[in-house]
């Protein structure tokens, strides 16, 4: 039971990160209908910015994370402004290839600056809290709490602000949004900036628990895609729920079956969805 609880908490921590990454991906997909393959690179960049702030500038962890979020908001936004905006009216295939171009640019840049070596990110939250026989590092608690805070913030943004409502309106009906006077370009720009923020939060939160390296975004972006497809492309609750479910499934499979098996779960789910219902399991009604 203790093992189960322990793994459950670990799964929730991992799921928090999965959900944050999937959320950015799903928002961008909702608004632009483009799967942003470069999204994993934003997550990687977020982790590196935090790493640099901590190690080279001696910033506190919270300051490092704030800087990372700000930098990634700009980086995410500039992706839209410099690239995706110029591809309006072209086929989705063009946008996908451009996204791959940016992915390899960012990975290549990280490789040039920091090299392929794995970096350890120091965290001030190394103490272990024991509760009901389950020991959790403070960093894990931080991951869970901060992720939930970010998600609540995102929810409020989407439901309570004009900007957020425009994002939702555009995701549901782009033409309609244009007709009612929504500046779709501005909304797209903002959505990309938000996706950068979410990726930076995810990357910065998980960095102390994992290692940081240029290709760290590749596997997680695939998992985020699986989550987003499962939860329905463009669906916010689907991304959150899917993130936690996938992470829990992986953690439990890793504990009770084998690590190799846990790695196959995401892929297995993807195949299953395609065979059973290619449009996604929880897709919103037409």
Partner 1 sequence: MEFPRARGVGVSLLLLTAIVFPLIVDNPYLVSVVVTAYVTAIAVYGLDVMLGYTGQLSLAQGGFFGVGGYTAGILMASYDVSFWIALPAAVAMTSALGYLIGLAALRTRGDYFAIFTLAVGVMIVIIIERWEDVTGGTDGLIGVPAPSGVGPLQFDSLTAQYYLILFFLVVTIYVVWSLMDSLVGRTFVAVRNSEELAQAVGIDAGRTHQLAFVLSAALAGLGGVLYAVFLGYIGPAMGGVQMTFMMLVYLMIGGVASLAGPLLGTLLVTGLMQVLQAFAEYQMMALGPILVVVIIFFPHGLAGLAGHAKRLFQRRGG
Does position 100 bind partner 1 by CB under 8 A? yes
Determine the interface stretch with partner 1 among 63-71, 145-153, 195-203, 258-266 (rule: CB under 8 A).
258-266
Q: What is the closest distance, in whole angstroms, from the C-beta atom of residue 258 to partner 1 in the complex?
A: 11
Q: Does 43 bind partner 1 (CB under 8 A)?
A: no
Question: Which of 58, 181, 278, 285 touches partner 1 by CB under 8 A?
Answer: 278
- Is 109 a binding residue for partner 1 by CB under 8 A? The answer is yes
Question: To the nearest whole angstrom, how small is the minimum distance from the Cβ of residue 63 to partner 1?
Answer: 29
Q: Which of 141, 252, 270, 281 binds partner 1 (CB under 8 A)?
A: 270
Task: Name which of residues 20 to 39 contact partner 1 (CB under 8 A).
Answer: 29, 33-35, 37
> 3-state SS of the chain?
CHHHHHHHHHHHHHHHHHHHHHHHHHHHHHHHCCCCCCHHHHHHHHHHHHHHHHHCCCCCHHHHHHHHHHHHHHHHHHHHHHCHHHHCCCCHHHHHHHHHHHHHHHHHHHHHHHCCCCEECCCCCCCEEEECCEEEEHHHHHHHHHHHHHHHHHHHHHHHCHHHHHHHHHHHCHHHHHHCCCCHHHHHHHHHHHHHHHHHHHHHHHCCCCEECCCHHHHHHHHHHHHHHHHCCCCHHHHHHHHHHHHHHHHHHHHHCCHHHHHHHHHHHHHHHHHHCCCCCCCCCC
Question: With respect to partner 1, which residue has the nearer C-beta, 162 or 275?
Answer: 275
Site residues for partner 1 per CB under 8 A: 29, 33-35, 37, 83, 86-87, 90-94, 96-98, 100-109, 111-112, 218-219, 222, 225-226, 229, 233, 260, 263-264, 266-267, 270-271, 274-275, 278
């Amino acid at each position: 039971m203790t093992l189960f609880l322990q793994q459950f908490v670990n799964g929730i921590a991992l799921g928090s990160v999965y959900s944050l990454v999937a959320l950015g991906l799903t928002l961008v997909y909702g608004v632009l209908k483009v799967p942003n393959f470069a999204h994993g690179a934003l997550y990687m960049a977020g982790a590196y910015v935090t790493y640099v702030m901590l190690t080279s500038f001696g910033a506190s962890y919270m300051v490092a994370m704030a800087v990372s979020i700000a930098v990634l908001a700009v980086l995410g936004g500039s992706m839209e402004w410099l690239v995706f905006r110029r591809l309006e009216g072209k086929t989705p295939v063009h946008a996908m290839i451009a996204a791959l171009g940016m992915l390899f640019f960012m990975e290549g840049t990280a490789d040039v600056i920091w090299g392929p070596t794995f970096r350890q990110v120091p965290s001030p939250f190394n103490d272990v809290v024991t509760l009901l026989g389950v020991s959790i590092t403070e960093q894990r608690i931080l991951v869970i709490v901060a992720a939930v805070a970010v998600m609540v913030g995102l929810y409020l943004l989407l439901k309570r602000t004009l900007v957020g409502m425009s994002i939702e309106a555009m995701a549901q009906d782009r033409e309609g949004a244009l007709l009612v006077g929504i500046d779709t370009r501005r909304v797209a720009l903002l959505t990309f900036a938000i996706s950068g923020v979410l990726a930076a939060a995810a990357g910065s939160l998980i960095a102390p628990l994992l290692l940081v390296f240029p290709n760290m975004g590749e596997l997680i972006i695939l998992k985020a895609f699986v989550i987003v497809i499962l939860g329905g492309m463009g669906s916010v609750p689907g991304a959150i729920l899917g993130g936690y479910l996938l992470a829990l499934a992986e953690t439990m499979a890793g504990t009770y079956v084998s690590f190799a098996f846990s790695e196959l779960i995401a892929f297995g789910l993807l195949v299953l969805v395609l065979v059973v219902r290619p449009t996604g399991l929880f897709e919103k009604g037409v």
